[in-house]
A = this chain, B = another copy of it.
């Protein structure tokens, strides 16, 4: 058998495996309480409604729903998404501004691969979404992390960095943010901060990539309008996903880009990757919006996740050491924890797994891979009893580690 290792393209050395997906493989089939994944609770899937929709779609649209489609996506869905976007405060767009993608992951891939050259300066939250960071890393930008607070990215710190870069004659290409119910922190940027961020973007002329994966999954207070809703310059590229509000197995996301020429570039890259997003699931999603299935399902998702979040915060309070800190998520699916500096969460993982608990070490969520004492803990998937039991085990593991 021949080996391909000497035949690889040079850029392959910048590819990174997702620690999380490797971890999930390790826990497969084992009796482990996993806080490692980012899976929705399957009880939130509107399975019966989906069944009914599929039947109707195949009755009504089968020759289109099973056929090739256009790269930008099914018109019925893009029209439905125009209406749906208004629920996040986004108005003044048309279906032409929307490209349907294979999950919002593909939208991230498309954006970063069409905008970032090696050496370009890209600003992210620290910590931020690990898969986005991995796509970015393959583009070899200069990544700058801005600390995450309970109110999202620290904008004072951001402004300081922007000023300093300007003094050095450098410009920022792009800022990637998850402003609402952030992954991994679960925190949200208040409206005032959103306005200020847009002003800074305008002043320093950088593009904002807004990942609104959790925009509908806010259970404390109102979800602030998307950054895109406040964007008057077409500067914000907006990413939405059906993964948290309908079903992640569809791999359906969407991208709002107002510059028509840039959209054409994005579609050329998308066409070379997969021609277009699968058609049948686009019809299902369109009908799920039109029939109100999604909007009617959201209160249930919020209720279930709020209950789990509460259980997790309570357990953390009870079982984690007093000198640990953690985010107070107002939505989303995760808590992010900062442990005493002494602890290396990557080293501790095997011990935790032996005791029957998995989590994601936090270093990968930092652009500079710092945060070796941090971890991401998921509350959307495990059952409440598992959250209580698992956090106790995790707390004990940490305490043992501290007393070593």
Chain A residues engaging chain B, CB cutoff 8 angstroms: 1-5, 7-12, 15-18, 21, 24-25, 37-40, 42, 45, 47, 50-51, 54-55, 58, 62-71, 102-103, 105-106, 109, 113-117, 131, 134-135, 138-139, 173, 205, 207, 233-235, 243, 247-252, 258-259, 261-262, 264-265, 267-269, 271-281
Residues of B within 8 A of A114 (CB): 8-9, 12
Copies of this chain present in the complex amount to 2
Cβ B271 vs Cβ A18 within 8 A: yes
Contact A71 to B21, CB < 8 A, known contacts A4-B115, A103-B274: yes
Q: A5-B259, A68-B248, A131-B272 are in contact. List 14 more A-B contacts (CB 8 A).
A: A3-B262, A4-B259, A5-B261, A9-B113, A18-B271, A67-B249, A69-B249, A102-B273, A103-B274, A103-B275, A249-B279, A250-B280, A252-B278, A274-B274
A285 to chain B, nearest CB (A): 11
Cβ B25 vs Cβ A50 within 8 A: no
Residues of B within 8 A of A15 (CB): 265, 268-269, 272
Residues of B within 8 A of A115 (CB): 4, 7-9
Complex-state Cα separation, A291 to B1, whole angstroms: 34
Beta-carbon nearest neighbor of A139 in chain B: B9
Residues of B within 8 A of A109 (CB): 272-274
Which of B250, B268, B272 contacts A66, CB < 8 Å?
B250
Complex-state Cα separation, A28 to B5, whole angstroms: 46
Residues of B within 8 A of A64 (CB): 249
Complex-state Cα separation, A106 to B102, whole angstroms: 12
Complex-state Cα separation, A45 to B68, whole angstroms: 12
Complex-state Cα separation, A8 to B117, whole angstroms: 8
Complex-state Cα separation, A218 to B181, whole angstroms: 53
Cβ B269 vs Cβ A233 within 8 A: no
Residues of B within 8 A of A65 (CB): 249
Residues of B within 8 A of A131 (CB): 271-272, 275
A113 to chain B, nearest CB (A): 7
Cβ A251 vs Cβ B274 within 8 A: yes
A91 to chain B, nearest CB (A): 15
